[in-house]
Amino acid sequence: MSFPDGFLWGAGTSAYQIEGHHGRGESVWDEFCRRPGAIEGGGDGSRACDSYLRWREDIELIKELGLRAYRFSTGWSRVMPGGDRPDPKALDHYERFVDALLEAGVEPVLTLNHWDMPAGLTWAERSSVNAFRTYAEAVAGRLADRVTWWITQNEPWIIALLGYQLGLHAPGVADLGTAVKAGHHVLLGHGAAADVLHAHPGTKAGAALSLFPCDPATDSEEDRAAAIGSDGYVNRWYLDPLLGGSGYPADMREHWERALGHGLDFVHDGDEAAIGGRSDFLGINYYTRRVMAAAPPAPFPWKVVGPSGDVARTDEGWEINPGALRDLLIGLSRRFPGTPLMITENGGVFGDGPTHDGQIHDNRRVAYLRDHVEAVGAAIDAGADVRGYLHWSLMDNFEWALGYRPRFGLVHVDYASGARTVKDSGRYYARLIAGGGTAPALPRIEAFG
Point out the residues that are catalytic: 155, 345
State in angstroms the smallest separation of the CB of 250 from ligand FCB.
Answer: 28
Q: Does 19 bind ligand FCB (CB under 6 A)?
A: no
Is residue 341 within 8 Å of residue 285, measured between CB atoms? no
Q: Which is nearer to ligand FCB, 143 or 151 (CB)?
A: 151
Of the two residues 18 and 106, which places its CB atom closer to ligand FCB in the complex? 18
Q: Are 45 and 14 in contact (CB under 8 A)?
A: no
14/87 with CB nearer ligand FCB? 14
Nearer to ligand FCB, 49 or 294 (CB): 49
Compute the least distance from the CB of residue 397 to ligand FCB, in Å.
8
The nearest distance, CB 16 to ligand FCB, in angstroms, is: 9
What is the SS3 assignment for 286?
coil
Q: Is 392 in the site for ligand FCB (CB under 6 A)?
A: yes
Return the residue of 153, 154, 235, 425 that touches ligand FCB, per CB under 6 A: 154
Q: How far apart are CA 267 and CA 126, in angstroms?
A: 10
Count of other CB atoms within 10 angstroms of residue 52: 21
- The residues near 158 (Cβ < 8 Å, ≥ 6 apart) are 169, 210
d(CA 319, CA 317): 6
Is residue 44 a contact point for ligand FCB (CB under 6 A)? no
Q: How far is the CB of 77 from ligand FCB (least distance, A)?
A: 15
Among the listed residues 155, 223, 240, 385, the single contact to ligand FCB using CB under 6 A: 155
CB nearer ligand FCB, residue 17 or residue 128: 17
Q: Which is nearer to ligand FCB, 14 or 86 (CB)?
A: 14
- Runs of H (alpha helix) within 145-270: 156-158, 176-198, 221-231, 237-239, 250-260
Q: For ligand FCB, which is the closer residue by CB, 114 or 142?
A: 114
Binding characters for ligand FCB, 399-428, by CB under 6 A (x = yes): xx-------x--------------------
Instruction: For residue 158, state whether it binds ligand FCB (rule: CB under 6 A).
Output: yes
| Residues between 209 and 248 that touch ligand FCB (CB under 6 A) | 210
Distances (CA, A) of 201 to 60, 105, 145, 148, 197: 30, 21, 8, 9, 8
CB of 278 to ligand FCB, least distance (A): 21
Binding part of the chain for ligand FCB, among 117-125, 151-159, 236-244, 438-446 by CB under 6 A, reads: 151-159
The sign of the dihedral angle between the CA atoms of 32, 318, 341, 182 is negative
In whole angstroms, give the CA distance from residue 165 to residue 179.
Answer: 5
Q: With contacts defined by CB under 6 A, name the span among 36-44, 91-99, 150-158, 224-232 that binds ligand FCB.
A: 150-158
| Secondary element (H or E) of residue 96 | helix 88-103
CA 150 vs CA 18, 190, 378: distances in Å: 19, 11, 26
Q: Report how far residue 101's alpha carbon sits from residue 245's, in angstroms, rounded to the nearest whole number.
A: 36
* Strand positions, DSSP E, 346-399: 386-392
Could you tell me the smallest distance in angstroms from the CB atom of residue 111 to ligand FCB? 9
Question: How far is it, in rounded angstroms, from Cα 379 to Cα 325?
Answer: 8
Contact window for ligand FCB (CB under 6 A) among 152-160, 231-239, 288-296, 409-417: 152-160
Per CB under 6 A, residues contacting ligand FCB are 14, 17, 154-155, 158, 210, 285, 345, 392, 399-400, 408
